């Protein structure tokens, strides 16, 4: 896996997101790594250097079950992100949430540029989601999955597929492109 680094060495993000990253579904499997990087106890009101956390994520991404672990971490981060949104935002439609995602995520960072998220609505049931950031593609995929799962219309299935014609960040591309389909 490509080694990921923050866009700026001073970039920090909220303890709420760090807490989600270390409390993911497969945390048992990665507990020693989390402990090694001193991230077993997180203060959700503090700010953490993104590179410190990315060093840990890089190790997880090069370990056993990397894809499963990174998607799991992303899903937990997405779940925490959604839970932290104001109540008035919780009931918004998926299309509106996806358009607001970049602005909402930027509130979780300081001291640098965290990258971008561009969303294009192709049709009522198809969105293209481009993400350029410091995180591995599988982690971003898990994050987007959790957000879409929460905000999708009631009783609608969905799928998220990486675009085969666009190199993701893991493969040296500029951004990860996901196709979100509602059915």
> What H or E segment, with its residue span, contains residue 35?
helix 27-36
3-state helix, strand, coil split of the chain in percent (to 5) is 45, 20, 35
Per-residue pLDDT tens digits for 55-96:
989 998 888 889 998 999 999 889 988 988 899 998 899 999
d(CA 98, CA 149): 12
Strand ranges (E), 94-138: 109-110, 116-123, 126-132
CATH number listed for the domain at residues 1-183? 3.90.1520.10
What pLDDT is stored for residue 1 in this prediction? 60
pLDDT of 34 strictly over 70? yes
Q: Report yes or no: 119 and 127 within 8 Å, Cβ to Cβ.
A: yes
- Choose the weakest-confidence range: 8-12, 109-113, 146-150: 8-12
| pLDDT given for residue 26 in this prediction | 58
123-to-119, 120, 159, 160, 179 alpha-carbon distances in Å: 12, 9, 15, 15, 11
**pLDDT of 11 above 70:** yes
pTM for this predicted structure: 0.91
Sorted by where each begins, the domain ranges of the chain are 1-183
Q: How far apart are CA 135 and CA 64, in angstroms?
A: 18
């Amino acid at each position: 896996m490509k080694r990921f680094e923050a866009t700026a060495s001073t970039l920090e993000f909220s303890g709420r997101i760090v807490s989600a990253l270390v409390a993911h579904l497969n945390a048992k499997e990665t507990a020693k790594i989390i402990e090694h990087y001193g991230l077993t106890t997180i203060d959700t009101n503090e700010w953490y250097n993104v590179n410190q956390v990315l060093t840990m994520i890089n190790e997880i991404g090069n370990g056993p079950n990397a894809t499963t672990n990174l998607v799991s971490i992303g899903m937990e981060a997405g779940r925490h992100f959604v839970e932290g949104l104001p109540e008035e935002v919780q009931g918004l439609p998926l299309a509106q949430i996806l358009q607001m995602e970049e602005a909402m995520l930027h509130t979780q960072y300081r001291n640098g540029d965290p990258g971008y998220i561009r969303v294009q609505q192709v049709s009522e049931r198809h969105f293209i989601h481009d993400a350029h950031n410091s995180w591995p593609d599988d982690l971003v995929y898990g994050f987007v999955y959790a957000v879409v799962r929460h905000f999708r219309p009631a009783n609608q299935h969905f799928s998220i597929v990486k675009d085969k014609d666009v190199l993701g960040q893991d493969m040296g591309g500029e951004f990860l492109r996901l196709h979100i389909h509602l059915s």
